[in-house]
Structure 1
Amino acid sequence: MKKLVLIASALFFLHTACAQMATASDINIATKYAKTIKASDLKKLLYVYASDDFEGRMTGEPGQKKAVNFLKDHYIKYQVPSAFGGDDYFQSIPKSYLRDKYNDSENVLAFIKGSEKPNEVLVISAHLDHIGISKNGEINNGADDDGSGTIAVLEIARAFQKAVHDGHRPKRSILFLHVTGEEIGLFGSRYYTDNPVFPLENTVTDLNIDMIGRVDPKHEGKPNYLYLIGSDRLSKELHDISEAVNKKYTKLDFDYTYNDKNDRNRFYYRSDHYNFAKNNIPVIFYFNGTHADYHRPSDTPDKINYAFYETRTRLIFYTAWELANRKDRVKLDGTDVKTD
């Protein structure tokens, strides 16, 4: 009996050690690819995307068309596949769906298929449009809003594809979703959820990135921070995972001020994650808060805090890595769950 106990004990400790080694290995792998997301690359891309050449990226206008082709070309360059196959990355949105006077537009969809649970899909989203040219002819470049989110999604996709290339394909599928028409009423994300490419019931979470490159007045001179909105509204488990990932990897100061249900700004309802939340899909909205350059021509790439931007983008990558690779999808158990 004593010998059996010793053998059982040895096996237990061996199992425990192997589990710890696997955990350490997973951390090392995630860290390796997170570190491929660099401030220098984010800056280089954002200076192009938020340049005058893109004419403020107004929905349906030539600058927005240039923006979607910029994204398509980079996904092809990074070898991140289209959600539709081939070189077709666009989900076309007809003029009839948009508000009056806007031209046809398009969302951009790139996709990495999961290795073990390919039918379960994690969405990482940002809006690709902005408010265009002012009446006085000034271009609203929208570097923070939402050039910062757009380029973050692109570089997160690039990091995941590098992992795939090295044999570390995520267990779940990931949809990198760039939506149009946010500034005129969340039309691109609404069109996607009305016409989903992947069933909404298989969509595990939406991580939505809308303005993550600047510092708002409340946090001037303080450590790196990020507002998180909605993380506990539909899934308390998602909130806990998000907190744990931050504690493990990035140690940002999470500010939940705008997650208050009495928030007068109503930011929870004002970005593209909301169209997923309406459909009982857990969400996190990442946001740096507003600033004096919000929706003005002065929202330019030279005002981005690139060190903060890099760490924030890496945080979202780490969170996506955890959600895409954990054993079970997050549970729908929050206070805002809609029931029949």
Structure 2
Amino acid sequence: MKKIILSALTIGLVSCGAHQSKNIENADVMEYANTITAQELSDHLYTFASDEFEGRETGEPGQKLAAEYLKTEYKKLNIPSPLGGDNYYQPVPGSVFRGDVKDSENVLAFIEGSEKPEEILVISSHYDHVGIDDEGNIYNGADDDGSGTVAILEIAEAFMQAKKDGFTPKRSILFLNVTGEEKGLVGSKYYTDNPVFPLAQTVANLNIDMIGRIGEGMENSGDYVYLIGSDKLSTQLHELSEEVNNKYLNLTLDYTFNDENDPNRFYYRSDHYNFAKNNIPIIFYFNGVHADYHKMTDTPDKIEYDLLEKRAKLVFLTAWEIANRDERPFVDKPVDTAAN
């Protein structure tokens, strides 16, 4: 049934949009990057990380409200679901995981590629957080990971504006908002165990988890972002990432936490890792931890919106390059699956 639904969606999207397609090389990519603005990121986040969403704990009413918010925003942008119709949710049953995990859902939206629609770039973030404590304090999770979630909405809007102008990406893009990261990466694990699109056709994963703040010790570092994992599986992906940044933004790309000996082990602690385990090249975008990490003081007023805008633009521009190059990133450092 899934294949039938996806085939029908493919036919419908191609028939509706093929005649509007233009040569992607003629697009002014910065025109679309500049639709990502600090103001719109702020507008989203002050809602998404408000008390109304009750800390977005997996399986709780606040998480359901957050999922509905994402679905509504994708529908406003006219970005369809890959699941067909009005169904933007991939159910994630808590019963398949150990521990106290309630049923929840990943939220998926999809822009089909014009030339290589079967090849999928996944842009991900987790939209859950840790909820409410026993005293009723709400943990809003503005940075963790409200910042990544609203960045994806703005990135999706930028790609959709390009598509409306006739510049549809060559490869397909899946916007994947995963649940249950705080419960042990359960949403991304469920997706990679039950992929909507074959993992063999998933060319890369760009994962965004906490990009709205200045991390500890980085107060004098200017416009920076930590990159983790870009060179772990694909030298090409790492080089592409560097080229895009040098061409458009010149942020400081800090690889401190990419070190194999990093005691924080961040490479293993966010949703990209479930893709990396499957030999899918990844980049993890991160601002580092800060004093408000997993505290009720992680609120929208603490976000550096101008810096969040620049980091979101970097993800968009990198995604644009991956989606439109002739070849997908080559895996030259495959995971030893026998060791897993």
Please indicate, yes or no, whether the TM-score normalized by the shorter chain is above 0.5. yes
Equivalent residue number for residue 3 of structure 2 = none
Aligned letter for 2:272? H
Deviations 1:37-90 (A, max 9, x none): 000000000000000000000000000000000000000001111111211100
Distance 2:89 2:337 in 1: 33
Equivalent residue number for residue 39 of structure 1 = 38
Whether the 8 Å CA contact 1:83–1:110 is kept in 2: the answer is yes
Distance 1:245 1:132 in 2: 37
Whether the 8 Å CA contact 1:52–1:139 is kept in 2: the answer is yes
Equivalent residue number for residue 5 of structure 1 = none
| TM-score (ref. length: structure 1) | 0.91
Whether the 8 Å CA contact 1:280–1:338 is kept in 2: the answer is no
Deviations 1:96-118 (A, max 9, x none): 12343332100000000000000
Using the TM superposition, give the Cα deviation of residue 27 of structure 1 relative to its aligned residue in structure 2, in angstroms. Answer: 7.7
Equivalent residue number for residue 138 of structure 1 = 137
Equivalent residue number for residue 196 of structure 1 = 195
Gaps of 5+ in 1: 1-21
Equivalent residue number for residue 175 of structure 2 = 176
From 330, 336, 339, the equivalent of 1:338 is 336
Equivalent residue number for residue 149 of structure 1 = 148
Using the TM superposition, give the Cα deviation of residue 95 of structure 1 relative to its aligned residue in structure 2, in angstroms. Answer: 2.6
User: What is the percent sequence identity of the aligned residues?
Assistant: 62
Aligned letter for 1:315? L
Whether the 8 Å CA contact 2:57–2:130 is kept in 1: the answer is yes
Distance 1:219 1:64 in 2: 31
Runs of 4+ in 1 over 3 A off after TM superposition: 25-28, 98-101
Distance 1:110 1:338 in 2: 31
Distance 2:325 2:210 in 1: 27
SS of the counterpart of 2:172? Answer: strand
What is the RMSD computed on CA atoms of the aligned residues?
1.5
Aligned letter for 1:185? G
Deviations 1:242-267 (A, max 9, x none): 00000001100011000000110000
Distance 2:71 2:101 in 1: 22
Deviations 1:265-324 (A, max 9, x none): 000000000000000000000000000000000000000001100000001000000000
Whether the 8 Å CA contact 2:139–2:296 is kept in 1: the answer is yes
Whether the 8 Å CA contact 2:27–2:167 is kept in 1: the answer is no
| TM-score (ref. length: structure 2) | 0.91
Distance 1:239 1:101 in 2: 38
Distance 1:339 1:134 in 2: 39
Distance 1:101 1:37 in 2: 37
Equivalent residue number for residue 271 of structure 1 = 270
Aligned letter for 1:139? I
Equivalent residue number for residue 259 of structure 2 = 260
Using the TM superposition, give the Cα deviation of residue 339 of structure 1 relative to its aligned residue in structure 2, in angstroms. Answer: 5.2
Q: Output aligned runs, 1:213-228, within 5 Å.
A: 213-228=212-227
Distance 1:249 1:140 in 2: 36
Aligned letter for 1:129? D
Distance 2:188 2:68 in 1: 19
Question: How many correspondences in the alignment?
Answer: 317
SS of the counterpart of 2:214? Answer: coil
Whether the 8 Å CA contact 1:227–1:255 is kept in 2: the answer is yes
SS of the counterpart of 1:72? Answer: helix
**Alpha carbons of structure 1 residues 27 and 255: separation in structure 2 relative to 1, 3 Å:** farther
Equivalent residue number for residue 11 of structure 1 = none
More deviation, 87-96/138-147 = 87-96
Distance 2:222 2:326 in 1: 33
Aligned letter for 1:208? N
Distance 1:99 1:165 in 2: 44
Equivalent residue number for residue 98 of structure 1 = 97
Q: Output aligned runs, 1:25-174, within 5 Å.
A: 26=25, 29-174=28-173
Using the TM superposition, give the Cα deviation of residue 225 of structure 1 relative to its aligned residue in structure 2, in angstroms. Answer: 0.2
Whether the 8 Å CA contact 1:141–1:297 is kept in 2: the answer is yes
Equivalent residue number for residue 328 of structure 2 = 329
Using the TM superposition, give the Cα deviation of residue 134 of structure 1 relative to its aligned residue in structure 2, in angstroms. Answer: 1.4
Distance 1:202 1:113 in 2: 13
SS of the counterpart of 2:28? Answer: helix
